[in-house]
């Protein structure tokens, strides 16, 4: 498999990118936006084999503040405007004029923001993977899920939210249980190497951009509300999520109901990363979608 890596200059720093394969005529490249904010591209390597199966180039990268694009400090960069500016620069740098754009979790928020506020050209379709159109609804859904946890864990989470102490062992234990229930995937010695590999997560990027945890949006993205403007997206959109996903079926349905040209695929056995937990099915669904919307 042909894999190329490189760096793009960005804001006196550098952005790492990874390109898998090449596209045959008529096959638009697939660009991937990872979650977090502050995660890395690593988990997207589980989609590498799609490139050979579908004769299609895949482009992934680490956004500024994490992974191979990690920087110390610079909270001023951790906002949607900078991350979208980075995406625009990457498209220009690599000549990605006509693409499909897949965003997972925060990356899907980024894709929605980009589509509505920037009206970019050359997007054949969007894939909104385990994402959201409303920070408020996301927060409400996570708090609804917390109510199904044990009284002990509910109390620990409540006390942390009230005190602002997110270092208490009882809170950390409860948070681990919550994330195991709805985020995942479960990592074992048999997991793909890209999931077990050490990585530099952007904790500052996450806390600055989103907040201390999934159910407390207090950062620069906390005002993210695009549900009422989803109708402005004209390109075809594929919405995907898992049955136990942080992006609950309700969150996915709200997007599906408000985007005119949308399809929705719910993955029964997945949490927040169906492309990992149901990899074969996800790739099959994605290949069908991409070929249907290559224009």
As annotated, the active-site residues are 105, 245, 272
The answer to whether 271 and 182 are in contact (CB under 8 A) is yes
Strands (E), 64-142: 99-104, 123-129
Query: Looking at the chain, how many residues does it have?
Result: 295
Residue 284, C-beta contacts closer than 8 angstroms, at least 6 positions apart: none
36 phi/psi in degrees, rounded to 5: 125, -105
The answer to whether 179 and 145 are in contact (CB under 8 A) is no
- Which whole-number Å values give the CA distances from 50 to 23, 38, 194, 282, 288, in the listed order? 11, 25, 16, 10, 11
Closest by CA to 172, choosing from 164, 160, 181, is 160
Task: For residues 110 and 116, give the distance between their C-alpha atoms in angstroms, rounded to a whole number.
Answer: 10
Task: For residues 239 and 264, give the distance between their C-alpha atoms in angstroms, rounded to a whole number.
Answer: 5
Task: For residues 100 and 58, give the distance between their C-alpha atoms in angstroms, rounded to a whole number.
Answer: 10
Task: For residues 118 and 31, give the distance between their C-alpha atoms in angstroms, rounded to a whole number.
Answer: 17
Residue 57, C-beta contacts closer than 8 angstroms, at least 6 positions apart: 19, 20, 21, 22, 23, 27, 29, 30, 51
The answer to whether 37 and 84 are in contact (CB under 8 A) is no
Decide: helix, strand or coil at residue 202.
Answer: coil
């Amino acid at each position: 498999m042909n894999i190329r890596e490189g760096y793009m200059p960005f804001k006196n720093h550098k952005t790492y990118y990874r390109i898998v394969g090449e596209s045959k005529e008529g096959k638009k490249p697939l660009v991937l936006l990872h979650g977090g904010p502050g995660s890395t591209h690593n988990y997207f390597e589980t989609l590498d084999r799609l490139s050979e199966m579908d004769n299609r180039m895949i482009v992934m990268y680490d956004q500024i503040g994490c992974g191979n694009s990690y920087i110390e400090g610079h909270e001023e960069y951790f906002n949607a405007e900078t991350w979208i500016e980075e995406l625009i620069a990457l498209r220009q740098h690599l000549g990605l004029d006509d693409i499909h754009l897949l965003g997972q979790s925060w990356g899907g928020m980024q894709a929605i923001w980009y589509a509505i506020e920037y009206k970019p050209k050359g997007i054949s379709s969007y894939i909104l993977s385990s994402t959201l159109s409303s920070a408020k609804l996301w927060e409400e859904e996570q708090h609804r899920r917390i109510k199904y946890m044990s009284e002990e864990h509910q109390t620990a989470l409540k006390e942390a939210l009230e005190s602002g102490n997110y270092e208490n062992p009882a809170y950390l234990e409860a948070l681990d249980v919550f994330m195991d229930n709805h985020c995942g995937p479960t990592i074992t010695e048999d997991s793909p190497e890209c999931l077990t590999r050490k990585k530099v997560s952007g904790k500052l990027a996450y806390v600055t951009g989103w907040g201390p945890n999934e159910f407390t949006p207090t950062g620069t993205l906390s005002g993210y509300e695009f549900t009422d403007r989803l109708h402005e997206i004209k390109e075809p959109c594929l919405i995907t999520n898992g049955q136990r996903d942080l992006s609950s079926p309700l969150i996915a349905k709200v997007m599906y109901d408000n985007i005119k040209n949308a399809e929705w695929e719910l993955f029964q056995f997945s949490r927040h990363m169906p492309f990992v937990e149901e990899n074969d099915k996800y790739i099959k669904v994605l290949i069908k979608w991409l070929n249907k919307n290559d224009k």
